[in-house]
Amino acid sequence: MSDSTLRDVVGEEPESIFRNRLCQARRYPTMSGMGDDYFSSIDQLRKLRSPLIDVRSPSEFDKGHWPGAINLPLFSDDERAAVGTSYKQDGRLKAIHLGLRITGPKMAALAEQLDQFRGADQLRLYCWRGGMRSASMAWLAQQIDLNPLLLQGGYKAYRHWAQKSFDQDWPLRIMGGRTGTGKTDLLLALQNKGVAVLDLEGLANHRGSSFGGLGLPAQPSTEHYENLLAEVLDQHQRQAAGSIWLEAESIQVGRCRIPKGLFDQMRTAPVLEIQRSLEERVEQLVGVYGQQGSEALADATNRISRRLGPQRTQQALEAIAEQDWATACRATLDYYDRCYDHELARCPDRNSIDLTGQTAAMAAETLLKAKLVQLSA
């Protein structure tokens, strides 16, 4: 970007442009030659594979974003708060001027960051509502000869799309089974063979029990979890999947909450119960949790002590202290088995199969050959 272009971007005249043009609802500045054609609906933008840029502040992005988006914030969190305070206390025009004073010195750096997308046919941009922040970034992108497209309605429109998807009718099939039967590994093995799978635990970074977060990355917010779920469901819909398999879960997967519309459908979906011997289940659990450390395991055990009861809690804690992982697992399985059996009793449409002795890959083949599970269309 040349010095003269920079002066055009940060000087007095662009302030007038931004003030009088960019703040117009769903309009670009006509002086830049841009109009309503540069706004696209969520459905139109979803058909493209061009770079996707979220210009909201870092904390907004962290709370939830269109999966796959790159965060290129126009304002930091503190700057966004300052502009918002100015808007409330001093009015819209004062807030615009403050925003211009903040963004003006950043224009060269932002232009350099945008320049990494020069090989793309288009840039997809969005802010919260498809207003000034995304329009400002799009104006800058056009000044350096890039071709921006804005999401009409911004991230708010994306959230509406995501949340609405959970109220659709989905061909769900539930993989059930007591704790330690290897349901997650089996679902992933089926997915590798072409079965449509919605990995509730994988997307949540949590295995679904008091012990479920051990050794895993931080969980996404429930908002972003919903976005991730919606994206996978949409992918299966576009591939015309005849059935979508997911694991039996409670509505909470750690801190992430399964959307009510989806969860209600899960509760009435057909269930395939996986059965394995107690020995295999204990071995599976020791393999997953045995490397997590005594302190973390003891903390997780104490969180469910009221449900385990004093005798089983003490038994589990003593086993953990002695690093007797198998005994510790057996002490907690009684509680989890009772919980699962209670939920299973509420499922009128269910089959079961014993897969004792089979690896996840072998079990996947067994289910496919028995036609208990079918490949995606």
Catalogue the active-site residues.
127
DSSP string for 224-274: HHHHHHHHHHHHHHHTT-S-EEEE---SEETTEE--HHHHHHHHHS-EEEE
Written as six digits, the tokens of 160 are: 């509406």
Give CA 219 to chain center in angstroms: 9
Angle, to 10 degrees, between the axis of helix 183-192 and the axis of helix 360-369?
70
Residue with tokens 């925003």: 99
The DSSP call for residue 120 is S
Identity of residue 360: A
The DSSP call for residue 180 is T
- SS3 state of residue 249: coil
The DSSP call for residue 19 is I
Beta-carbon contacts of residue 63 (< 8 Å; ≥ 6 apart): 221, 223, 224
Angstrom distance (rounded) from CA 225 to CA 198? 12
Q: How far is CA 362 from CA 33, 142, 177, 263, 302, in A?
A: 61, 55, 17, 30, 36
* Beta-bridge partner residues of 175: 247, 272
Closest CA to 256 of 232, 234, 233, 224: 224
